[in-house]
């Protein structure tokens, strides 16, 4: 693989860009870049995905949607399946244990607007793994591949590509991502994403990338590296270590959605972007809150928006004080007014957002 002197991949130089800064094909779609937003339960709802795309994410996958038909009309599932105003291609992740149910769920979500279906074999949450869904499926390769085949067969006549997200394995002694990835490719999966941890690790320790490199070397379809992608430099290092076709960013994007354009710009130019303008952050955060409140309503919306506000202001001057105050606010208008006032005060310190420490890992589950 040819490398530029500054460390950026340069072959082939289509579009006048280094390889990792070029668009990438996914089925019939040409994604604009190779920096993706990871699906995260309780986080990557429609407002977050739209925001991630505005800040340069080349692809954004929904929270996992249940395969249980009796829950499809529930408010929670209806919100997750709401793609109103979302730019395409729309990618929906489904989770379950039964091949027939997974195929039915794929068709249901395509009817609701999904243009790409992602299969969840990566979520480590106990409530998911206890019913043998998510990363628990990696312990049962025949069932896992039966699910993949069923979903691909359901989606193929509809012209909908299927992707797969998984971990390196169930535990350190059972890293079977390579075998599953090869089986998924044979079944017709269009792209595989691998989080560089086992299910046993959860989010502890550090991601390892050797397994991802092995999978990439063996597959002909695109492979996406996920896990601990926290900065432009880390993204480049992971791409170099694995040879992966793209990176997927999860927790590092919480409160920092501009990380997608920062990474893409660095991969394209070798240069770091300046921190965003406070005025831009103000517009983005207030728009995010308005869209969040509109989706969830004034009561649930105010409560569930608190975590997003906390992530945005983590490590910023007086951010802890705002977070504590916001946690007592019950009115959506007051919540927005307090955030706006805080950012107006912050803008008086300087035009650009102060460099903050990375947000602490949140209690959410990238899937």
Among 123, 129, 155, 171, the one annotated catalytic: 123
In the prediction, which pLDDT does 135 show?
65
> Residue 52 and residue 37: Cα distance in Å, rounded?
7
Give me 224's structure tokens. Answer: 């996406």
Burial of residue 216, with CB atoms counted within 10 A of its CB: 0-12 exposed, 13-18 middle, 19 or more buried: buried
In the prediction, which pLDDT does 236 show?
96
> Residue 309 and residue 332: Cα distance in Å, rounded?
13
In the prediction, which pLDDT does 14 show?
53
Asked whether 53 and 87 are in contact (CB, 8 A), the reply is yes
> Residue 209 and residue 225: Cα distance in Å, rounded?
8
Is-above-0.95 flag for pTM? no
> Does 129 qualify as catalytic in the annotation?
no
pLDDT digit string (tens) for 171-224?
677 789 999 999 999 999 999 999 988 876 767 678 899 999 999 999 999 999
In the prediction, which pLDDT does 177 show?
92
In the prediction, which pLDDT does 170 show?
76
Asked whether 52 and 288 are in contact (CB, 8 A), the reply is no
52-68 core/surface letters (b: 16 or more CB in 10 A; e: else): bbbbbbbbbbbbbbbbe
Give me 160's structure tokens. Answer: 């909908």
Instruction: List, for the chain, all residue ranges whose pLDDT scores fall below the cut of 50.
Output: 1-13, 125-126, 128-132, 358-367
In the prediction, which pLDDT does 164 show?
97
């Amino acid at each position: 693989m040819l490398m530029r002197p500054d460390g950026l991949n340069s072959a082939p130089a289509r579009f006048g860009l280094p390889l990792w800064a070029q668009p990438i094909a996914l089925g019939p779609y040409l994604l604009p870049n190779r920096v993706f937003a990871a699906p995260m339960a309780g986080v990557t709802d429609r407002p977050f995905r739209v925001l991630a795309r505005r800040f340069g994410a080349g692809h954004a996958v929904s929270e996992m949607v249940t395969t249980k038909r009796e829950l499809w009309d529930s408010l929670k599932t209806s919100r997750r399946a709401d793609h109103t105003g979302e730019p395409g291609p729309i990618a929906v992740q489904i989770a379950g244990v039964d091949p027939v149910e997974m195929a039915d769920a794929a068709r249901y979500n395509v009817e609701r607007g999904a243009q790409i279906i992602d299969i969840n074999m990566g979520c480590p949450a106990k409530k998911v793994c206890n019913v043998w869904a998510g990363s628990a499926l990696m312990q049962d390769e025949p069932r896992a591949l039966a699910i993949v085949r069923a979903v691909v067969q359901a989606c193929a006549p509809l012209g909908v590509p299927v992707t797969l997200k998984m971990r390196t394995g169930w535990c350190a002694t059972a890293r079977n991502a390579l075998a599953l990835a090869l089986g998924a490719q044979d079944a017709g999966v269009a792209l595989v994403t691998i989080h560089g941890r086992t299910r046993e690790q959860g989010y502890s320790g550090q991601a390892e990338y050797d397994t991802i490199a092995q999978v990439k070397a063996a597959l002909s379809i695109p492979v996406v590296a996920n896990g601990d992608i926290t900065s432009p430099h880390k993204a480049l290092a992971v791409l170099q270590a694995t040879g992966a076709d793209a990176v997927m960013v999860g927790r590092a994007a919480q409160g920092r959605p501009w990380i997608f354009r920062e990474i893409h710009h660095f991969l394209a130019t070798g240069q770091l972007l300046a921190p965003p303008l406070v005025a831009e952050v103000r517009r983005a955060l207030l728009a995010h809150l308005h869209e969040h409140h509109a989706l969830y309503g004034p009561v649930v919306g105010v409560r569930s928006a608190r975590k997003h506000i906390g992530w945005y202001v983590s490590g910023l001057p007086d951010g802890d004080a705002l977070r504590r105050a916001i946690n007592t606010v019950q009115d959506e208008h007051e919540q927005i007014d307090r955030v706006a006032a805080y950012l107006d005060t912050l803008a008086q310190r300087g035009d650009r957002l102060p460099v903050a420490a990375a947000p602490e890992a949140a209690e959410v589950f990238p899937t």
